[in-house]
């Protein structure tokens, strides 16, 4: 566990791609992708997951993790309704932001100024990278490798 203050610092930290070079393909339905990032100073490591586990055309989850197991931010698009710890419910799309004592159990309404076009999943991926303060990221291509 980390504090909310530490989570905020990690989220605001500038991050750069540190994974393998080469062509990266956006996952199709039923697939999952992990991308590796680090802070500019290379002291902190992060993973960004792109999950298409649902077989909906617009279904996708983007998640930034720290130390492999600590979820900092998760963006759920076209998924299930979420129940918050206070028994309130939130429809998709929504965003989860780390909260001390709860990790990613709280969901919040999505700011459409930050994520203006959820129908464009590739633009949403880039918006998510910006939201996570990822300034250098790989080109993730549409479609399947030949």
- Rounded Cα distance between 134 and 128, Å, is 9
- Asked if residue 124 belongs to a domain, the reply is yes
Q: Whole-prediction pTM value? A: 0.92
- Asked if residue 81 belongs to a domain, the reply is yes
| Mean pLDDT, residues 97-126 taken together | 95
- Asked if residue 45 belongs to a domain, the reply is yes
Which residue would you say has higher pLDDT here, 125 or 52? 125
Amino acid 71: pLDDT:
97
Question: How confident is residue 115, by pLDDT bands cut at 50, 70 and 90?
Answer: very high
The answer on pLDDT for 134 being more than 50 is yes
Amino acid 146: pLDDT:
41
Do 56 and 77 contact (CB within 8 A), yes or no?
Answer: no
The answer on pLDDT for 86 being more than 60 is yes
Question: How confident is residue 56, by pLDDT bands cut at 50, 70 and 90?
Answer: low
Residue in the structure block whose two tokens are 């993730």? 140
- Asked if residue 143 belongs to a domain, the reply is no
- Asked if residue 146 belongs to a domain, the reply is no
Indicate the number of domains in the chain: 1
Amino acid 23: pLDDT:
85
User: The dihedral of CA 37, 41, 45, 48: what is its sign?
Assistant: negative
Amino acid 72: pLDDT:
98
Amino acid 42: pLDDT:
82
| Mean pLDDT, residues 40-47 taken together | 90
- Asked if residue 27 belongs to a domain, the reply is yes
- Asked if residue 144 belongs to a domain, the reply is no
- Report the candidate in 39, 28, 35, 31 with the shortest Cα–Cα distance to residue 49: 35
Q: Which domain covers residue 54, as residue numbers?
A: 4-138
């Amino acid at each position: 566990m980390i504090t909310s203050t530490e989570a905020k610092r990690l989220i605001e930290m500038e991050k750069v791609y540190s994974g393998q070079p080469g062509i990266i393909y956006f996952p199709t339905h039923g697939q999952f992708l992990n991308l590796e990032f680090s802070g500019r100073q290379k002291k902190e490591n992060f993973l960004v997951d792109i999950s298409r586990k649902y077989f909906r055309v617009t279904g996708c989850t983007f998640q930034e993790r720290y130390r492999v197991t600590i979820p900092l931010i998760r963006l759920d698009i076209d998924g299930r309704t979420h129940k918050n710890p206070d028994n309130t419910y939130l429809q998709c799309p929504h965003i989860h932001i780390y909260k001390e004592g709860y990790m990613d159990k709280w969901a919040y309404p999505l700011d459409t100024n930050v994520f203006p076009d959820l129908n464009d999943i590739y633009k949403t991926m880039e918006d998510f990278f910006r939201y996570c303060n990822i300034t250098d990221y790989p080109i993730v291509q549409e479609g399947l490798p030949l």
